[in-house]
Structure formats: structure tokens, C-alpha cells
Amino acid sequence: MPDPAVQIAGTQEIAPDLLVIPNDRAQLVPNIGVIGGTRAVLVVETGIGTANAEQVLALASEVAKGRRLYLTTTHFHPEHAFGAQAFAGHATYLVNRAQADDLTAKGPGYLEMFRGFGGPVARRLDGVRVPTPDVVYDGGYDLDLGGRTVRLRPTGRGHTKGDQAVEVPDAGVLFTGDLAETGQFAIFPWFPPYDTDVSGVRWLAVMDRLVATGPRVVVPGHGDPGGPHVLAGVRDYLRELRDETWRRRDSAMGEDEIVAEVRALLIERHPEWAGQEWIEPGVGCLCTEHAA
């Protein structure tokens, strides 16, 4: 696997005092945000490991010019959150309750799983500890940066139990984490019996709600930022995956045959998308689910 290095040099300003460090479609590299107000700056995501996070912190500190720093993450997965220790003593790290619970309950297992990828990924995680947030909130959290309020909103179970959307209303910008991607099949962390928290049915309901917010710019967890069509595209794919899976399941077809047929069909419909390996766990997850 290639080195999951955050490339600070590619940083783009997508709105006044609002930067995105794009992942440029690199594996295990998230899109990272730096959002400024008159009194404080919020960083969204860390990248995987302390070396990546130290680069992000250095950029945020340069942007902040003495303004207070905050950090948040969209969910607990290592490439999004497992650099937070680099921010200790420099920024206040705040997350929603369900994400904090995920970090505690599942963080150690994911740290070991990602170290098991070996090579550059393991090296990035050398010396990394599971993050501990400074502030854990229930419900929503409105973070006043000074002249700009950022809305932190837990979405409920979808990609994980602890997904959090980050909305910048004055700029019309929404950070979705891995609830949305562009240019790839939706990531289903369906690893029974170890992790079965992902829910295709609830994820689809979350996307319906996010589409209704009508953001101007959507910054996905991975892939290129874009307009509201990013959300609609993910919603439509999840609906497609659900319908094709359930149609076959309800005709008493075996799961292996369902996977083979649905995989072939979706690759034929979306030949340019990356992440074909995520179709099978998506089918497996939806085979266990029923309409809400």
C-alpha cells in the first residue's frame, strides 16, 4: 500500500478563511479542513499518525496567527482521528458522545488492524495512541469561532455509530467524513463478528437528511469536493445497492450468488469508480437488514 501522506502543498481555499487539504484520491488520506473565525480556528481531521498531524497542526497554527485552535474529527477511523495526540496542548479536541465511545471501545482494535497492513501504514502508526477527546458533547454543538459558527452534528448510525457532520453555514460548506465519497463505492466497514455497526438502511436515511440541508460545497471523506450532487450521488448509490441486494435476497438467492451478481452489475454501471472491494461487504450488511 502506498504511503498515506498528507500533502499540505495542495491546500485550497474554498471560501474565505476556509481551507481544504485535499486527499488527491490517495488511499487512507482524508480531506482535511481548516476553518477560521475572528477568535479561533477549527481543524477537521488529522490524517493518519503524528507526522501527518504535525504538518496539519503547523499549517493551522500559521493560519491562526495566535487565534485559539480547536480540533474535531468526523468519526473514529485511524486516517481521520489517529493523529490527534499531536494536537495535545495546542488545540481543544471535541467530538460527539457516540464517536468518543467508538474511540474507547473500538479504537485499540482498529489501531492494531491498521498496523497489520504493514509497510508505510504501520510506520505512520508507530508510537500512536488511541485519541482521548478533551470535550465530549451530547446532541449538537455550535462552536463559535468569532463571526462564524460551525455546527457539529452527530448524524446517528451510518458508516459508523459515531458519525459527525461539520457544517459551516455562512459559507455553505459541509464536511461529511466517510458518509460521502466521490469517485468510489461507499466504504462499508462490515467485519462480522468484530464490527457490524455500519447500517446501509440508516446510512441511506442520513443521506436523505443531508441532501435536504442543501449545502453549496460538500467536502467528502475521500475524493474531490463538489456541489450538492455529491450527496445525491451517494444516496442514489446506496439506494441502488439496497434495492439490487434485497431483490435477490427476497427471491431466496444465496448470499454468494447475490454478491457475485450485484458486484458485476454495479461495476458495469460505475466502471470508473475505485473501491470495488467495498461492494461485497455492502451486500453482506444489507443482506442482514430490513426496511426501517
Strands, sheet with 32-36, edge to edge from the N-terminal-most edge strand: 12-15, 18-21, 32-36, 40-44, 68-72, 92-96, 135-137
In the structure, what pLDDT confidence band is assigned to residue 1 with cuts at 50, 70 and 90? confident
Q: Which helix (H) or strand (E) holds 178?
A: strand 173-181
Per-residue pLDDT of 91-126, as tens digits, reads: 999 999 999 999 999 999 999 999 999 999 999 999
Q: What pLDDT is attached to residue 77?
A: 98
Q: Using the predicted structure, report yes or no on whether residue 225 has a pLDDT greater than 80.
A: yes
Q: What is the mean pLDDT of residues 254-283?
A: 97
The fold for domain 8-287 equals Metallo-beta-lactamase; Chain A (3.60.15)
% of the chain surpassing 90 pLDDT: 98
| Boundaries of every domain in the chain | 8-287
Other Cβ atoms within 10 Å of 291 Cβ, number: 6
Q: Using the predicted structure, report yes or no on whether residue 292 has a pLDDT greater than 80.
A: no
Q: What pLDDT is attached to residue 270?
A: 97
